[in-house]
Amino acid sequence: MREERLGGAAEDVDSVLGALADPTRRQLLDLLAEQGTATATTLAERLPVSRQAVVKHLAVLDAAGLVSGNRVGREVRYALRSAPLDAAARWMAALAADWDRRLADIKRAAETAEQASHPPGTD
């Protein structure tokens, strides 16, 4: 069922969710969303971690498709890529819709059982 909802992109969503599990990586995404593009050095200045740690986190985000790096001279400028986030959001929305449907089914079954146990005029 999960594969059907994802259209075969389960691994992509898995890597996005794995990358988003780390608070530092989420901060990096927030900074890139705010700044547009930035170097690892610039990003490290805004975080309580070393530049080397930022580079490692950016590599995880890049592997998940959440950022892209573009070499400009001696620097690599990173930018946010929204498509993988959109795919993960679609998966979560489909999951939420499944649960909403299931809960509505449970509610209907409970209401039907309640009505069957208390026919009109028996109170």
Query: What digits encode the pLDDT tens for the residues 59-118?
Result: 999 999 999 999 989 999 999 999 998 888 899 899 899 999 999 999 999 998 988 888
**Confidence band, pLDDT 50/70/90 cuts, at residue 123:** low
Sign of CA dihedral 34, 37, 43, 46: negative
- The pLDDT score that the predictor gives to residue 10 is 66
Q: Where are the domains of the chain?
A: 1-123
Q: How far is CA 72 from CA 1, 67, 96, in A?
A: 43, 16, 42
pTM of the model: 0.73
Q: Tell me 120's DSSP state.
A: T
Give the SS3 label for residue 41: helix
Alpha-carbon Rg for the chain in angstroms: 23
1-123 folds as Arc Repressor Mutant, subunit A (1.10.10)
Measured distance CA(20)–CA(6) in Å, rounded:
18
Q: Which residue has the higher pLDDT, 11 or 78?
A: 78
Averaged pLDDT score across all residues of the chain: 89
